[in-house]
Amino acid sequence: MAQWDVHRNPSRASRDRVPYLLDIQADLLRSLGTRVVVPLYDPVAFGPRARRLNPVLVIEGREVVASFAELAGIPLSALGERVDGAEHARTSLVAALDCLLSGV
């Protein structure tokens, strides 16, 4: 696993609304037993969004909305299979993190 990897959501209970999890944790901290992730929502399930805080990504040909206000630390064992990467969207993802943490 690496920063900006996208993983399938292993939870059957929430997978319809949140099909993927985005790993945003720095690779330098890969020895930790947890990863910080951002849920990637189906746009219909997400509703209205703040553009800077909730960038839209295309994963496996499907649009999803990143919900940075819901980022969480999860155990490695709770991370599903890697299905894609989001390095191409790094600028908007870091901007969303800046918006969340500093309001800028």
> What distance in Å separates the CA atoms of residue 58 and residue 35, rounded to the nearest whole number?
22
pLDDT, one tens digit per residue, over 4-63 is: 999 999 999 999 999 999 999 998 888 888 999 999 999 999 988 888 999 999 999 999
Q: Evaluate whether the domain defined by 5-102 bears CATH number 2.30.30.110.
A: yes
Domain residue ranges of the chain, discontinuous segments joined by +: 5-102
Which residues, in sequence order, are bridge partners of residue 21? 7, 39
> What distance in Å separates the CA atoms of residue 69 and residue 59, rounded to the nearest whole number?
20
Whole-model pTM above 0.75? yes
